[in-house]
Structure 1
Amino acid sequence: MDDLTGFQRDLLYVIADIDRPSGQTIRDELDDYYTDDITHGRLYPNLDTLVTKGLVEKGELDRRTNYYELTDIGDDQLRTHHTWTSQYIES
C-alpha cells in the first residue's frame, strides 16, 4: 500500500464499500468527496494500476460496462492500512 497514491487508496475504499461497482459508480462516489472533476483519463488508468497490482479484479457486467471488486490481497492490504492509520486517529 505504501506505493499507492492517495487517490488509488480512495478507490480501494469505495470499491470495498459497494458490491461490484462500475467505473461510473466509483466516479459518482468520489465526486461527493473530491472538489476537482474526476476525468476518464484519471479514473481508469488508476483502476487499471490497481488491477495490475492484483488488488482489484475487473470483470464484465455487459459489453459496455466493467465492474471492479477487491481481491483477497486488496482486502487484506486495505484492512492493514486502515488499522495502521486508525491508531493515529484514535489516540
Structure 2
Amino acid sequence: MTTLDRTAKSPRRTPEQWTASVTNFLESGLSAPKFCKQQNISYASFSKWRQRLATKNIDQAFKSDQPASFIDVSSLMNESTHWNITLKLGNGVELILNQT
C-alpha cells in the first residue's frame, strides 16, 4: 500500500489571481468542475472564491452613490451552482428565486 505525499501543495493564489481565474471561467463556457480540472484548481477553493467575489461585487453595487438599476447574476447560472435570491419589494411583497 502506498501513501500519497501531501506535502506538495499548490501555491496560494492572490485575490487578483482568483479574480482572473473566475473571469477566465466565465469566458470559457465550461462547467466549473471541468474548468477546475483543466486548470488544476481545487473545485472547493474555486467555488468559495467565486462566491466571495460575486458577493463583493453585489455589495459594491449597493454601496455606490448611484442607484443600481441592474445586478449581473449571470455567474450564478451554472447547472452545478445552488443559489437563493430574495428581493424585498416593499409592502410585504417578496420575489424569491432559487436554483437547487
Please report the TM-score for the alignment, with normalisation by the length of structure 2: 0.38
Of the two, which has the highest radius of gyration?
2
- Structure that is richer in helix per residue: 1
Bigger relative CO (Cα 8 Å, ≥ 6 apart): 1
Please report the TM-score for the alignment, with normalisation by the length of structure 1: 0.41
